[in-house]
Chain A
Amino acid sequence: MNDKRDQRRKLLKAAVLGAGTLGAPWVARYAYAQAMDLGPYQQAKINWRQAEGTAVNVAVIAASYFQNLIDITPEFEALTGCKVNYEKVPPGQIRQKVVLDLSSKTGNISTHAGDPMYVPLYAANKWCDVLDDYLKDPKLTDAAWFDFQDLVPAWREADAIDKKTYALPYQGEMTIQIYRKDLYDAKGLKPAETFDDIVKNAKALHDPDKRMYGFCLRGMAGAGQNMYIYPSIMRAYGGKWFDANNKIRVNGPEAVAALDWYVTNHNMFAPKAAQNWNWPDIADAFSEGTIACYIDGHSGVAVIANPQKSKVVGKIGYARWPKGPSGKRCTSIWNWAMPINAAMPQKSRVATWLWLQWACSKETQARTSYKFTGGAKRFDVNRMSLWNSPEYRKTIGDAGHNFLEASLESLTQDTDIDWRPRVPQWPAIGETMGKLVQAALVGQMKPKQALDEAQKQIERILA
C-alpha cells in the first residue's frame, strides 16, 4: 500500500514539475515583451500611431515563420497602439476562406497569407488595394527606411500585375535540387547540371530492393501540388503558356515532351506511392533516407535538416535546378503574399498597411530569423540584404552542403515571372492541369492525350 502511495506522490510531483517547465515558454515570452526595443522602428519618419486603437485581422497558416512573427507582435502593438488578431487557417482551406471573405466584401480579414497566383484574381475583382499608393505616400511610408527595392525581386514581381503591386512578400521559397551528398560522393556523382544528369544520377543510385529510390517529384494533383513542379520542367523544355495571339496553350510540343519526361522518370525512379505525394510526404521519405535526390521547395530543409526528425542530417547537399533541353533553369517564385483588403474603412486599411510595413521590414525579418530567441529558424527571409548578411548566413549555414549558394543562385538567376500563367482564371486552370498531369502520371492517359484534354477543358473555362 505504502509503495503505491509513494509512487502516486512521485507521479504527482513529476506532473507538477512538468507543468512548471511547460509554463516556461510563456514566462520567457512575457519577459521578451517586457524588454522590447522599438528604436529601430522609430527611426522611420512616419507616425506609427496614426491608426491607434484600430484592429488588424490577419489570416495566416500554421508555420514556424509565422509563429515567430506572432510571438513578437506585442512589439508592433506597443509601437502603433493597434491590436492584431491572428487566425491560423489550415493551408488547404485558406484560399477558400479568403476568397469567400473578399468576394462578399465583408472586410473581416484585413490581410492574409495569400497565394501570389491569386494576385491576378484579386486585381481583376478589385478586392485588394494597389499598394503603390501606400508606398508613395510619405505619411504612410518612409521609403528610405522601408527600402521596397530590397525585397527579393522575383517575389515582388510575383505579387504585382501590370506593374502594380498588390501584395508584399513576408516569406518566400524557391525549388532546388536536394540530394544525398554521402551517396553521391561514394559513387563519384555530381549534382545534376542537366535533365540528362538527373536520369544518370538516379540510375546510379536507384535500388528499390534496398529501399533507395533514385529520384522523386510531387505526384499529387493540384494547382499548388504537382503544378508547382511541372511548370518548371515545361519552361525548361522551352515551352510557353501563351501562343502568339496571347491565347493560353498548354499542349505545345515542348509541353508534351516535358510531361513525358516527368511521367517517364517519375515512373522509373520514384516510389510508386509518390504518385499521390505532396511535399511533406517527399520530405519525410527523404528524411527516412529512402530517396537519393528530389526537387522541391528549399523550405523542406526545416524537416530534412532537423535532427529530431531526420536521419540524414549532415548528409545533404543542395543545387539549383538543372538546365532543361532549352538550356533554361526555372525555379518557383512562391511567397506568402500579403495584400490589403479593399473592403475596409480607411483607418483599418492604414493600420493594415502599418502592420504590413512592420512585418516585411528588414528589422522584423531579422527579429524573426537570426535575432529570434526561440527555437525555429527561418530559411526564407524576404530581403536580399539579409540573404547577403553574415549574421543570417551563419544561422542557415548548417542546413547542409551548398545550401546558401544554391538558394541564392536560384533566387537571383533562375526565377521566371512566366513560370505559371498569371491570369485571374489560374485557380481553375491550375486545378485542371493538376488533375490531367496526374492522370498522365498514373497511366490513365498518354501525356499528349492528357494535355490535349487539358487544352479543351481550359478553353471551355476561358470561354
Chain B
Amino acid sequence: MEGVDRIRAAEAPERRFAWGLLGPGLLVLAGTTTLPIFYLLWQSTQNINLALPGMDRFIGAGNYVRLWEDSRFWDALQLTFVYTGCTVVMQLVLGLGMALLILKLPRAQGPLRVMAILPIVLAPVVVGMIWRTLMLTQDYGIVDLLFRKLGLGSHNWLGDPKLAVLSVIGIHTWQWTPFVFLYLLAALSTIPDDMYEAARIDRANAWRRFTRITLPMIRPAIVMVIIIRMTVALSAFAAIYAATGGGPGTATEILNLFAYRVSFAELDLGYGAAAAVVLLVLTLVVSAGLFAMRRGR
C-alpha cells in the first residue's frame, strides 16, 4: 500500500510537469491550425462565389455533392494517386539504390551528403521554372538535347498530356530523391557489419543478404520515409504550378492544384474549400493507415 501511495504522489508532479511542457505547443496549434480548419469546414458548406455576389448562403453538403458529380474532380483525384504513388516509389527505389551504392564507398559519403542537399534546398518554384524552360523545352532544353544525342528522339515533354504527367513526376522525383537517399543512408549505416559477416559465412548471395538482412533492418526507416514523402507529394504545389500550371488541359491537375484553381482562378471559394477538405481527409486516412503499419509488427 505504501508503495502505491508513493507512486501516486510522484505521478501528480509528473503530470503537472508534462502539461507544462505540452501546454504551449498545444495552445499554439489549437489557435493557428484548428480555428482555421473550422473556418474551412464552415466555408465548405457555403455557397461563396465571389463572381456571384449576393448569392452567399448555407448549402450543407451541396459542394460535396457537386464534387461527386464533377468528372474533373475524379480525374484530379485519380491523378493525385498516380502522382503520389509514382513519385514515392521512384524516390524510394532510386534513393535506396543510391544509398546502397554509396554505403560501400565510405570516403565519398561526406561530400555526397552535402551535394544531396542541393536539389532540396533550391526553391520549389524555381525548380519548376528551370525544368520547364531550361531542361524540358522541346528543341533547346537540355533533356531534349540529350535524348536526341542518345538517339531517343525529341519529345514534347510538357505539351503532350501523358508525357507532361511523367515530366512532373520526374521533377518531383529529382528534387526529393536526395532526401530519401540521405535518410536511408543513415539507416543503412547503423546495421552492424557482423550481421553481414555471419550471412557471408552462411554463403548467402548478395540478393539474399539484401532481402533477409538489409530490408528487415531498415523497414521502420522505409515506412517512416514513405509517410513523410507521401504527405509532401499529396500537397505538392509549387513545382507543378510553375512547370505546367496543371495543364495541358487538366492533364497534370492534382487535387491540390484543383482546389487552388477553383478557389483563386475561378473564385468559387466554397467549392474550393470542399476540395481542400477532401484532400485533408484523404491525407489523414492514408497516413493513419501507414502509422498503423509502422506500429503493426
Contacts and interface: CB of A to CB of B under 8 A. Distances in A.
Taking the complex as a whole, does A directly touch B, i.e. does some CB pair lie under 8 Å apart? Answer: yes
Contact of A438 (B52, B157, B248, B268): B248
Interface in A236-288: 271-276, 281, 288
B101 interface: no
Contacts of A441: 248
Given A125-B50, A427-B51, A276 B247 contact: yes
B249 A424 contact: no
B249 A438 contact: yes
A107 B91 CA distance: 46
19 contacts: A99-B50, A121-B51, A125-B50, A125-B53, A219-B248, A221-B246, A221-B248, A273-B141, A275-B160, A276-B132, A276-B159, A276-B247, A281-B133, A425-B52, A427-B265, A428-B266, A439-B250, A442-B159, A444-B251
Q: Secondary structure at chain A's binding surface: helix, strand, loop or mixed?
A: helix
Interface string B248-265: 111100000000010011
A427 B267 contact: yes
Given A273-B139, A276-B247, A444 B51 contact: no
Interface string A136-148: 0000000000000
Contacts of B250: 435, 439
A99 B53 CA distance: 13
Contacts of A432: 266
Interface residues of B, number: 32
Contact of A103 (B50, B133, B246, B248): B50
Nearest to B66: A460
Interface in B143-181: 156-161, 164
Nearest to B249: A439
Nearest to A445: B249
Contact of A99 (B244, B245, B261, B267): B267
Interface of A: 95-96, 99, 103, 121, 124-126, 211, 219-223, 271-276, 281, 288, 290, 424-428, 431-432, 435-436, 438-439, 441-442, 444-445, 461
A441 B159 CA distance: 9
B62 to A, nearest CB: 12
A432 B264 CA distance: 13
B266 A220 contact: no
Contacts of A272: 138, 156, 159-160
Interface of B: 50-53, 132-133, 137-141, 156-161, 164, 244-251, 261, 264-268
Most chain A CB neighbours (cut-off 10 Å) among B51, B156, B160, B161: B51
Nearest to B164: A276
A125 to B, nearest CB: 5
A431 B264 CA distance: 11
Nearest to A225: B245
Given A441-B248, A444-B249, A276 B158 contact: yes
Nearest to B138: A273
A428 B245 contact: no
B245 A442 contact: no
Most chain A CB neighbours (cut-off 10 Å) among B132, B244, B266, B268: B266
B248 A442 contact: yes
Contacts of B264: 95-96, 99
A219 B245 CA distance: 12
Contacts of B159: 219, 272-276, 442
